[in-house]
Amino acid sequence: MYCHTGTPPEKFNYEYYNKEKTYNSFGLLTPQEFYEKHVRPLFDVNNKVCLVSDPRQSNPFGQLYTLQCLGNVVGGRQTAYNNQPIETLMTAVKDSIAGGEAVWFGCEVSKRFERKNGFEDLDAQDYRLVFNTEEKGNPLKFRVENSYSDKEYDKGYLLLTAPWFREFVFEVVVDKKYVPDEVLQVFKQEPKVLPAWDPMGTLACPCCSKE
């Protein structure tokens, strides 16, 4: 990194324009100071946990997992995957969104992706599912913001249906307060170590820790 980008500065100014197009600047701050002052009050990484849904018989639900060779920070936190049924993930996501918090998630994004119209569904041509409602209060669809820019779809947002979620979403990061106590207890286990080439190692988030 030093050869290509130079020595990182110890402190920096953070400059941005808000939604009202007003210029703002914070500095001089170290990365840790920036996190403590401007990030942690809104997004405390220590309160985020990673839930996965791996339905393979070799990896039972209610078990904690980690992977060999995953993590590139010396002295960093161990990656920890709490394996749960997909409905547990969906409930945590629903409660997070209802609480005003966005959710990071991992999925097989290219599967059944109706790219032209910007939605993902097992019955991609059944438009009734996109506009229908669920009387029992269960989530029928989710609004997803990805890095496609606001030039595509509905200002850059996609629609992801609940059946698609159940089939292709396999990892979510949510706040602990949206996770049942019995699920949080799994993080106290000694994790089972999966090989480095295991499919669960294809997508990792820095929030995926047991601490």
Which 3 state secondary structure label does DSSP give 98? helix
State how far the Cα of 69 lies from the Cα of 87, in Å rounded to an integer: 30
CA dihedral over 68, 69, 75, 79, signed as positive or negative: negative
CA dihedral over 193, 195, 200, 201, signed as positive or negative: positive
Half-sphere exposure of 112 (CA within 13 A, CB side): 19
Task: Cite the beta strand spans of the chain per DSSP E.
Answer: 12-17, 23-29, 48-52, 63-67, 81-83, 104-107, 113-114, 119-120, 141-145, 157-161, 169-175, 192-194
Q: Which residue do the tokens 């307060």 mark?
A: 177
State how far the Cα of 30 lies from the Cα of 159, in Å rounded to an integer: 38
Identify the pLDDT of residue 142: 79
The full set of domains in the chain, from first to last, is 2-39 (no CATH), 45-201 (3.90.70.10)
Identify the pLDDT of residue 84: 97
Q: Is the model's pTM score more than 0.85?
A: no
Spatial contact of 45 and 180, defined as CB atoms under 8 Å apart = no
- What b-and-e string marks burial along 125-146, b requiring 16 or more CB atoms within 10 Å of the CB? eeeebbeeeeeeeebbbbebee
Determine whether 150 is exposed, middle or buried from the number of CB atoms within 10 Å of its CB (0-12, 13-18, 19+).
Answer: exposed
Chain length of the chain? 211
Identify the pLDDT of residue 114: 54
pLDDT one-digit tens code per residue, 164-209? 888 888 899 999 999 999 999 999 999 999 998 888 877 665 555 5
Q: Which residue do the tokens 């998630």 mark?
A: 105
Query: Within the chain, which residues score under 50 in pLDDT?
Result: 112, 118-120, 125, 127-128, 130-133, 135
Q: What is the DSSP string of 15-60?
A: EEE-TT--EEEEEEE-HHHHIIIIITTT--GGGEEEEE----TTS-
